[in-house]
Every structure is written in C-alpha cells, then in structure tokens.
C-alpha cells in the first residue's frame, strides 16, 4: 500500500498562553497543501524501516512513522511489515511533514489490516504522537486550538490562489522558537480574520513567531518581503519556520530567478 502524506501551512499563529505542563496553547488555521512525502507499507518476514530522499536525523525509533507503528502494535496483533518513507517535505520548515507521516501511517494500517478505527479514534491515537498529528487524519482546513490538537473544521477554499512555498537552506528549532516567544492574547483572532477577504489579511493575520525568528534569521524575513514585492496577496512564515509561503493570483515570471531551486508552487505549474 502506498500513500502520499502531505504538508500543511499555518494561516496565522498566536501563542496565547503557557500551560502548567510546560506546553503552550495556541490558535492557528491549518491548511493542507499538495507538497507530499511517499509512504509505502508492505508485508514482510520481519519489521523493517527505510528512508530515502531528504536525510532524516536521529534514531530510527524516534521517527514518527516508526512510533506510529509501535503504538499500533501495543493495541493490535499485527503481522510484521516493511516500511519505506521517501522524504520530500523539508524538515524543520514548519510544514508538519513528520506529523503527517505519522498520521498517515496510522490511517494506512487501519485500512490495510481493517482495524475498524473511526476518524475520532485515529485522531486520539495521533495526539499521542504529536500536537498537530491529529490534523492530518481528517486533513482538511481546520482552526486549531489547545496545543494544536483541538480541531474545528473551517469552510475555507484557497483554490483560486497559487501557493508558493520558499524553503531557505536552514532549519528553525521548534523548541527554541517557543522559548523566545511571549504568549499574549491577540487583538484579532485567527478565526475572525480568516472570514475577511484575503486582501485584508496582510495587516491582520499574524504569526507570533515571526518577530523573533526574523531577528535571528533575517534571511527568512527577507523572503517574506520579497514575496510581497513579487505580488503576493498574503505572505507569512509557516508554523515556527523556516519556510515562508505566499498566496498569489498569478505566478510572477521572475519567481525562478528570485528563488532558484528552493521553492514549490501548488497547484503545480
């Protein structure tokens, strides 16, 4: 069985308070995009995991795909499988690639072995893997609150726009980003702003991480400004970075000259 775990972008992101457990409550709108990894699961005589494409740092057992499989093994009597993950979604980019891989592993196993888990049950299991993993179970535009695990579907369609994602050659640590951000209640909530025309988002839809991340990595802020100069209706860093996306009515012809080799466009040209 093969699936294509996709990325997401954050439309606005407010870190509203620090929780007693050390995590943070936030508000953001998660929106799925077509940038995808490739995940294959086939029966095998013994468990095996292989990754190709972009290099994934860290021990195999810490990979969210493997963690998802181990979580399933604790609840179900499953035969051994061989898993192949081909990594395309940039790592440390705020695009949720690892979370998507883990969530899709849960969904694939549910289908492959006819486990009968409902979407709600899959979301519950995904929450054990990471805060934004549950989003990729339903995989539709949703307002995320709590730690990112409380999801409310939102009727938002950006199909009239081209989404340009630019990934500079650096990664931003999520832990570091949370350490420097100051939790606050926003003047305009994400839920309120996204009901307005996209043309009004530039002044109202804010990612709280940008101020500090741009100070530490000025090149990320420069990318955002360049996207606006090229005609983006809206542009923002996704999550805690380092990728920046822009919403365009039409793709500028000079895009390839500005960002050679390190950008993605969806729908694909």
Asked if residue 221 and residue 199 are part of one domain, the reply reads yes
Asked if residue 146 and residue 13 are part of one domain, the reply reads yes
What is the tally of structural domains in the chain? 2
Q: Domain boundary at 153, 176, 196, which?
A: 153
Strands (DSSP E) found in 157-216: 162-166
As given in the structure block, the two tokens for residue 169 are: 């050659």
Asked if residue 102 and residue 42 are part of one domain, the reply reads yes
Euclidean distance between CA atoms 263 and 197, whole angstroms:
26
Asked if residue 101 and residue 9 are part of one domain, the reply reads yes
Q: Which residue ranges in the chain fall short of pLDDT 50?
A: 269
Asked if residue 71 and residue 101 are part of one domain, the reply reads yes
Asked if residue 19 and residue 124 are part of one domain, the reply reads yes
Q: Domain boundary at 123, 153, 183, which?
A: 153
State the virtual CA torsion across 72, 118, 133, 89 in degrees, nearest 10.
Answer: 90
Asked if residue 149 and residue 34 are part of one domain, the reply reads yes
Amino acid 268: pLDDT: 65
Q: Domain boundary at 103, 122, 153, which?
A: 153
Structural domain for 122, as ranges: 2-153
Asked if residue 27 and residue 141 are part of one domain, the reply reads yes
Q: Where are the alpha helices (DSSP H) in 45-189?
A: 64-75, 97-112, 119-127, 135-138, 174-180
Terminal C-alpha separation, the chain: 28
Amino acid 50: pLDDT: 97
Amino acid 35: pLDDT: 95
Amino acid 115: pLDDT: 98
Output the domain CATH number for residue 37. 3.30.230.10
Give pLDDT tens digits for 29-65: 999 999 999 999 999 999 999 999 999 999 999 999 9
Asked if residue 245 and residue 202 are part of one domain, the reply reads yes
Asked if residue 176 and residue 149 are part of one domain, the reply reads no
Asked if residue 204 and residue 86 are part of one domain, the reply reads no
Within 8 A by CB and 6+ apart from 197, the residues are none
Active-site residue numbers?
8, 132
Give pLDDT tens digits for 231-265: 999 999 999 879 999 999 999 888 888 887 778 98
Output the domain CATH number for residue 222. 3.30.70.890
12 and 21 Cβ atoms separated by less than 8 Å: no
Asked if residue 122 and residue 14 are part of one domain, the reply reads yes
């Amino acid at each position: 069985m093969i699936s294509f775990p996709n990325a997401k972008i954050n439309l606005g992101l407010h870190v509203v308070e620090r929780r007693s457990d050390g995590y943070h409550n936030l508000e953001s709108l998660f929106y799925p995009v077509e940038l995808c990894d490739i995940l294959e699961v086939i029966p095998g005589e013994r468990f095996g995991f292989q990754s190709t494409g972009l290099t994934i740092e860290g021990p195999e057992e810490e990979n969210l795909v493997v963690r998802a499989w181990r979580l399933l093994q604790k609840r179900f009597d499953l035969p051994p499988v061989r898993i192949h993950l081909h990594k395309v979604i940039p790592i440390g980019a705020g695009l949720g690639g690892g979370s998507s891989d883990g969530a899709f592993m849960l969904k694939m196993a549910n289908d492959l072995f006819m486990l009968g888990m409902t979407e709600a049950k899959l979301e519950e299991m995904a929450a054990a893997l990471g805060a934004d993993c549950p989003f990729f179970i339903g995989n539709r535009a949703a307002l995320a609150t709590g730690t990112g695990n409380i999801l409310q579907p939102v009727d938002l369609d950006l199909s009239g726009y081209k989404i340009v994602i630019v990934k500079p050659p650096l990664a931003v640590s999520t832990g570091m980003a949370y350490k420097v951000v100051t939790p606050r209640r926003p003047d305009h909530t994400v839920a309120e702003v996204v009901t307005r025309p996209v043309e009004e988002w530039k002044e109202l839809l804010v990612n709280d991480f940008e101020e500090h991340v741009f100070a530490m990595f000025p090149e990320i802020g420069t990318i955002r400004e360049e996207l606006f100069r090229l005609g983006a209706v809206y542009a923002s860093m996704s999550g805690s970075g380092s990728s920046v996306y822009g919403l365009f009515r039409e793709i500028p012809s000079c895009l390839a000259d500005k960002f050679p080799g390190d950008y993605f466009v969806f729908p694909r040209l």
